[in-house]
Structure 1
Amino acid sequence: MNKLILGNILHRPLRTAISVIAVAIEVAMILSIVAIMIGQVSGASSQTGGIGADMIVRPPNASFISSVGGAPVPAKIAEVLRKLSHVAVAAPVITNLSTAGAVQTIWGIDYESYNALKPFVFVSGTPFQGQGDVIVDDLFARSGKGHHIGEVIQVLNHPFRICGIVEHGKGGRLFLPIHALGTLLGTPDNASLFYIRSDNLKNQEAIRQEILSTAGLGQYEVQTMQEWMSLMTPEHLPGFNIALDVIISIAFIVGFLVIFQSMYTAVLERTREIGILKSMGASKAYVVNVVLREAAVVAIVGIILGIGVTQLIHLGMSYKFPTLPFIIGPAWFLRCIVIALIGSVLGALYPAWKASSKDPVDALAYE
């Protein structure tokens, strides 16, 4: 049977190649889009983990993704937070997501307080020397053709001089003085949120209660960093899983239709061969098995090729867009393999049934 299946596959190499490529595209499409989408969520979580804060204070009714842009609250609230018991550091921050040209996370920081949370590790350069300076992380510095100290870059369509390059993992990719970014956004004295480092992790609940009991702060969102990071999952992103399901469904349908067309055409071309097999005693189950196994072989080759293509895409994006996370877990590899196999088998079911239902007399007389 294996020789028969291999012979059938090699008999029409172009059609087989198209089927394999279709499955490979299905696999690469699912894995690449999932890697980028999940990478954005996981990347944001890992970036935030290196800030050094253990609590976060956000405006009233703020969702965990509402701080991607804008500065709705006064930055001077940080002064109030610093006076609270057990608060060692309180740093106001403006967060902004820019999609002009490329996706960039731009943060406005008060350097002294933000650095006090956990000091920057400078690869080269210095902290801000003025309002026209920008600090970039090492991943941004390696992006494109590379960036260096003293280079003037455009941030939100305004020129800023790179004064320092730091190790990544401190929240943003680009850091501006908080007043400079606030001015660009039209809110020079405001902030998006506040990061807090407590004097002792055991005092986090006491800090929370003290903040909520402070006049004017009773409606603010106060969370530990562990609580906030636990929300950084696809399940908590509006429409995230729906978008993934739509993408997977489209890829599944493409793979199903290509395999269906390929196997259906193959069955029509092999009518006489199927008649010979049945006249020699082949059962319906045998014929179905031949067709389904042929489809499975095509699917497996396509899956292997698709995974290879995905790795090439990963390498290309790592070189072209080093700041863009591309993360695929083993579970998604397994899930994608199962989806591709199921689509291929389902696509071959009707052709297999049609082949097994052929009358050997009619099949042998077929020209």
Structure 2
Amino acid sequence: MNKLVVGNLVHRPLRSLISALAIAIEVIMILSITAILLGKIDGFKARQNGIGMDMIVRPSATNNFIGMSAAGASIKVADILAKIPHVAVAAPVNVHLTNSLDSIYGIDYKSFNDLLPFSYISGTSFQGPNDVIIDDYAAPGKKVGDSIKILDHDFRICGIVEHGKGGRKFIPIETMGALTESEGKASMFYLRTEQPPKYQEDIRKAILATDGMSQYDVKTADEYLSAISPSRLPYMSTAIKVVVGISLVIGFLVIFQSMYTAVMERTREIGILKSMGASRSYIVALVLRETAVIAAIGIVLGVVSSFALSFILEARFPTLDFVINLPWVWKAVVIAFVGALLGALYPAYKAASKDPIDALAYE
């Protein structure tokens, strides 16, 4: 049977190659969309962990993805939070998401730096209201003293820091307020507490019991970051399901068309096999084994191409957060393989159902 399988695939090299490429494209589609969507989530979580906070306080209506909601809290709330027992640092932040999905952080430098100090590669902290600190991912081709446009406003680069501390561009919170018509406002407040997590529940209760703070959302860093996942973000889960569904249909249809055409072209061959005693199950197994070989080649090609694409994009666009999720590699393999076998079931059944007398008479 293996010789028959290899012979049939080699005899029709173009069709076999196109079918394998279709499976590869199916795998690449699944891994690429999950790499982009889940990579954004993983990158966001990593940068939030790098801020140095262990609790976050926000107005209750604020979106989990920072910058997608307007700043709705007074900066003065930070002074109230700083007086809560066991709160070491309370840092107000006003984050604005640009049209290019770039999160600009408006910060009170002292308190934000007290959470976890910036690691400077060059330059210094803000020297004026029009200064900006950028991380090393946003810095290629730029140096301290250069001008950069942010929110249609010219800023001077005063410092370049290592990446991983929330955003990639930081400006004074007062300047952010003036540029976004949110003077004196903050999107959220990052807290660094004493001996986390020992006092965190007490801090939460104290904040909510404070006058005017009962409507605020108070979470630990773990609680906040755990809420940012595909299962908690319906639109992201839907996007992944749609892409997986489309990919599955593509793989199914291509294999169906390829194997159905192959069966029709091999009517006489199938008749010969059946006249020599080949059973229906043998014919079905023959078609499915050919499909499995095509699917395996396509899957390997798709996975290798996806990792190559990830490497190229990471080198070319380091801020893209295109990270292939390893559990999804196995899911893509299973989805592509099962889809291919489903696409081959009817052609296999059609082949097994052929009457050997009619097949031998077929011209």
TM-score range, shorter chain: over 0.9
Q: Work out the CA distance in 1 between the residues paired with 2:252 and 2:57.
A: 49
Per-residue deviation, 1:328:
2.4
Aligned match for 1:333, one of 305, 319, 329: 329
The TM-score, its normalising length taken from structure 2, stands at 0.97
Do residues 2 (structure 1) and 9 (structure 2) align? no
Q: Work out the CA distance in 1 between the residues paired with 2:122 and 2:66.
A: 33
Do residues 234 (structure 1) and 230 (structure 2) align? yes
Within 5 Å, which residues of 2 pair with 1:1-367? 1-65=1-65, 67-100=67-100, 103-142=101-140, 146-201=141-196, 202-367=198-363
Per-residue deviation, 1:63:
4.1
Q: Work out the CA distance in 1 between the residues paired with 2:143 and 2:270.
A: 69
Q: Work out the CA distance in 2 between the residues paired with 1:137 and 1:75.
A: 25
Per-residue deviation, 1:268:
0.7
Unaligned stretches of 5+ residues in structure 2:
none
Per-residue deviation, 1:18:
0.8
Q: After superposing the two structures, state which structure 1 stretch, 112-121 or 73-82, moved more.
A: 73-82
Unaligned stretches of 5+ residues in structure 1:
none
SS at match of 2:199: helix
AA at the equivalent of 1:327: V
Q: Work out the CA distance in 2 between the residues paired with 1:73 and 1:238.
A: 27
SS at match of 2:139: helix
AA at the equivalent of 1:89: V
Per-residue deviation, 1:99:
3.0
Per-residue deviation, 1:320:
2.5
The TM-score, its normalising length taken from structure 1, stands at 0.95
Root-mean-square deviation over aligned CA pairs: 1.3
Would you say the 8 A contact 2:31–2:325 is kept in 1? Answer: no
Q: Work out the CA distance in 1 between the residues paired with 2:33 and 2:288.
A: 29
SS at match of 1:140: coil
Would you say the 8 A contact 1:42–1:232 is kept in 2? Answer: no
Q: Work out the CA distance in 1 between the residues paired with 2:325 and 2:52.
A: 27
Q: After superposing the two structures, state which structure 1 stretch, 309-318 or 332-341, moved more.
A: 309-318
Would you say the 8 A contact 1:154–1:160 is kept in 2? Answer: yes
AA at the equivalent of 1:42: D
Q: After superposing the two structures, state which structure 1 stretch, 170-179 or 60-69, moved more.
A: 60-69
Q: Deviations over 1:10-59 (max 9, x none)?
A: 11111111111110000000001001100111111111001111111101
Q: Work out the CA distance in 2 between the residues paired with 1:176 and 1:115.
A: 13
Q: Deviations over 1:106-146 (max 9, x none)?
A: 1110101100011000111111111111111112224xxx3
AA at the equivalent of 1:98: T
Q: Work out the CA distance in 2 between the residues paired with 1:213 and 1:118.
A: 28
Q: Percent identity?
A: 53
